[in-house]
Chains A and B, each alone.
Chain A
Amino acid sequence: MKIAVGCDHIVTDIKDKTVKYLNGKGHDVIDCGTYDFVRTHYPIFGRKVGVMVAKGEVDIGICICGTGVGINIAAEKVKGVRCALVRDVQTAVYAKEELNANVIGVGGRVVGEGTIEYIVDAFIAAKYNPTAENQALIKKIDGLIGENDTIENDAIFDEFQKKWDEGFYND
């Protein structure tokens, strides 16, 4: 399976281990970064994974940050993505079977390596089980985002990165 993986700087080591694990299973993995522990912003990497999924360049995406919340929201805000942030196998399988989820997320500071391996294995193995009811729900979810340039515009975050670099965002 072709899989895009993304993370933020909090969990780069966990992402690297996940990539290695998936490669070991014979999957074709695209590592969308981040690649080190330098402070960065999770929307950059969640969007990258989401865009690859939405464009059909990969079969599924995997997003990891500290709690998993931020990066998976970014993936979900891409039109065509249906993302599930989980801590257990049952929820991951439900998300695929009932909602045809195409991105799976975990919190690297919430679940351990073993659980992450179980979750991605189960998500990859699970199959969407279409029903009239869940197809209608999926259509409604997909219809919530209208036409926008989020997929095509790779410079979408530049204005905020510039303000960040100028010291606008202070604690």
Chain B
Amino acid sequence: MKIRQLSLFLENRPGQMAEPCKLLAEAGIDIRTLTLADTERFGILRLIVSDWQRSRALLEQAGYLVNITEVVAVEIADRPGSLGELLALFEDTRIDIEYMYGFTLGREGRAALVFRFNQPDAAIELLHSAGLNVLEEVEVYHRIEK
């Protein structure tokens, strides 16, 4: 149910993002989606990749600090209002969204949202009870590939 996300510490200097991306490309690893959280001082590059174990090994060998986090990916309709409906589910719950990002699945007007919850298991239960499709790791790759 949960998807492994890689987080990398980057210094806030030009060219910092290119290096890890190049490293993964050379190893034939696909980046499914990514987001960069940047501040004035540093950046955190968050990646969902086709082979997280190999990616972690490669990046750590190159000296990167890699953090593995379990995130939850939910499939929703790619139309106005669908995000709002989903977020409404978490009102009045003890489940906090630490951060989130989205990407389109590239077919059938569907999109995926990636969430970092403080209580991922409770969140998954809630999403299931609302009839939403929580994506498996392989499913994420499969759907994007289509």
**Do A and B actually bind?**
no
